[in-house]
Protein backbone atom coordinates (compact mmCIF):
# COMPACT_ATOMS: atom_id res chain seq x y z
CA UNK A 1 0.00 0.00 0.00
CA UNK A 2 2.75 2.45 0.92
CA UNK A 3 4.60 2.10 -2.37
CA UNK A 4 1.45 2.84 -4.40
CA UNK A 5 0.70 6.00 -2.42
CA UNK A 6 4.32 7.11 -2.81
CA UNK A 7 4.07 6.52 -6.54
CA UNK A 8 0.85 8.55 -6.71
CA UNK A 9 2.53 11.40 -4.82
CA UNK A 10 5.49 11.31 -7.22
CA UNK A 11 3.16 11.38 -10.23
CA UNK A 12 1.25 14.28 -8.71
CA UNK A 13 4.48 16.20 -8.10
CA UNK A 14 5.65 15.50 -11.64
CA UNK A 15 2.35 16.77 -13.03
CA UNK A 16 2.55 19.93 -10.91
CA UNK A 17 6.15 20.50 -11.99
CA UNK A 18 5.33 19.98 -15.66
CA UNK A 19 2.30 22.29 -15.48
CA UNK A 20 4.28 25.05 -13.73
CA UNK A 21 7.17 24.55 -16.15
CA UNK A 22 4.84 24.81 -19.13
CA UNK A 23 3.31 28.01 -17.76
CA UNK A 24 6.78 29.49 -17.26
CA UNK A 25 7.77 28.51 -20.81
CA UNK A 26 4.53 29.96 -22.20
CA UNK A 27 5.18 33.21 -20.33
CA UNK A 28 8.71 33.41 -21.73
CA UNK A 29 7.44 32.72 -25.25
CA UNK A 30 4.75 35.39 -24.86
CA UNK A 31 7.35 37.93 -23.73
CA UNK A 32 9.63 36.96 -26.64
CA UNK A 33 6.76 37.31 -29.12
CA UNK A 34 5.90 40.75 -27.70
CA UNK A 35 9.53 41.82 -28.08
CA UNK A 36 9.70 40.41 -31.61
CA UNK A 37 6.48 42.13 -32.71
CA UNK A 38 7.34 45.45 -31.08
pLDDT by 10s per residue, the chain, length 38: 678 999 999 999 999 999 999 999 999 999 999 999 97
How far, in Å, CA of 30 to CA of 7, rounded?
A: 34
How far, in Å, CA of 11 to CA of 28, rounded?
A: 25
Indicate the burial class of 5 (C-beta count within 10 angstroms; 0-12, 13-18, 19 or more).
exposed
Torsion of Cα atoms, 21 then 24 then 29 then 32, to 10°? -140
pTM across the whole model: 0.56
pLDDT at residue 1, as a whole number: 62
Amino acid sequence: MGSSTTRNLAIRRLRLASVSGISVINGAVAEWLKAAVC
